[in-house]
Amino acid sequence: MASEADAAGLVVVDECRGVLFVYSDGAVVRKVGPGFATPVRDDGTVEWKDATFDAVRGLEVRLYRPRKRGGRRLPVFFYYHGGGFCIGSRTWPNCQNYCLRLASELDAVVVAPDYRLAPEHRLPAAFEDAEAALLWLASQAGPEGDPWIADAADFGRVFISGDSAGGTIAHHLAVRFGSTAGSAELEPARVRGYVQLMPFFGGVERTRSEAECPDDAFLNRPLNDRYWRLSLPAGATADHPFSNPFGLGSPDLAAAEIAPTLVIVGGRDILRDRAVNYAARLKAMGKPVEAREFEGQQHGFFTIDPWSATSADLMRAVKRFVDTAGGRRVE
């Protein structure tokens, strides 16, 4: 398709990480894999498989669980990938590596869903798909559930996480299912907490970390702005409720019921100030929200290198949160 577009004299008007190309006639071309080479480190201690959660849209999840469980039921840990709502997949090796480590070190069943991407499917498509994946998980507790997950999962200890755009998804799910009515939709599953990994929030007015972000950052201003331009409803600004949790028309977070939430912040991330402000404002509202900042770290450091010392520190912080918010199950 790309060569055909080039031959027709079309030009690329938007490009994201060498994976997504938008042409001057509106055509969209995608590469299947990421624009970087990362080997998958699978030592066989975690087993995994794919399952369909939305047959109509052809959306799947990748499920992980430790091979040696000893008959125990394990907490369920969702991981929604990042990519500015425009790129990314559960099948990408950086996502695979991170989920393998999550399943092993958290001793959990990990659920990594895909969701529709922009600009072909602008927001709220990703939020709708994320909701569908969570409701699908709840349905697996019933008699028609897949034994692969039903026999291993403790549906009373579900955690929702995501990095970057996935962190924004986690926020929207927290608001969507935080109320008594929302929680009832998920029964018998129960969400115990949320982990937002460098959430992808936006706004028209620049924060200091955005204004001072260097051009060679992993996520810089041009790419940050491009993601929002391609993913928000046509004509919307970055103050839209989908991007700015405190923007005009956003849900009243003071009135919302929010489960315990851990917000992970990178000290050198363009999104640092928005994440810090988000956690501080929710905490001031009396919500059980805490932030943990990793000094000197750029956006997505834990998926770029899941085996670094800093990534290990992050994994320990997430495990402490899961153990505290969810409690350890006594067999």
- Residues forming the active site: 164, 269, 299
Nearest to 314 by CA among 327, 300, 329, 325: 300
CB 116 within 8 A of CB 63: no
Round to whole Å and give the CA distance between 87 and 115. 10
Residue 207 DSSP class: P
Round to whole Å and give the CA distance between 210 and 26. 29
C-alpha distances out from residue 17 to 38, 86, 220, 279, 283, Å: 15, 10, 12, 29, 35
Sheet holding 109-113, edge to edge: 46-54, 59-66, 109-113, 74-80, 153-163, 191-197, 261-266, 289-294
CB 304 within 8 A of CB 223: no
Compute φ and ψ for 63, nearest 5 degrees.
-105, 140
Round to whole Å and give the CA distance between 220 and 299. 9
